Amino acid sequence: MNFRELVIKDHPNITTEQLQTFEAEFIALNNEWTMADIESINSQEYQHKLCEKFDQSMVKLGYGDFDPDAIAHVIEALYSTSEYESLMEYIIISYRNGSGGEGLDELYMLMLSKLQNDFDE
């Protein structure tokens, strides 16, 4: 199931405008991350700022108080989209860093496994 289908399943009354707004914000977030320099990417301040922007966008979609584990299925759908894979890896790691290494456990293990497989090839 792709991202749009998941959101519509979770929130059947979501409007096309809400989905388009999220997609525009998410594309802008991806572009911001892609353009960031290595010093920014490695800073905790930048990690927090980027995750907060992502959180705010998810809340606008109707996911209420943001809880990464509660929307792991949505995060996984975004991670599974090749153009957003790197950004979602960064967000997953940032959430785990911010929470003392907890949360999104299954997705984190999936990501590590994929990275290991990519490395082995």
Could you list the pLDDT tens digit for every one of the 121 residues in the chain? 788 888 899 989 999 999 999 999 999 999 999 999 999 999 999 999 999 999 999 988 888 777 888 888 889 999 988 899 999 999 999 988 887 778 899 999 999 998 888 888 7
CB 70 within 8 A of CB 63: yes
Does pTM surpass 0.95? no
Query: CA separation (Å) from 98 to 12, 45, 90?
Result: 32, 11, 12
- Contact at 8 Å (CB) between 83 and 30? yes
Question: Residue 92 in contact with residue 75, Cβ under 8 Å?
Answer: yes
54 CB burial (10 A radius; 0-12, 13-18, 19+)? buried
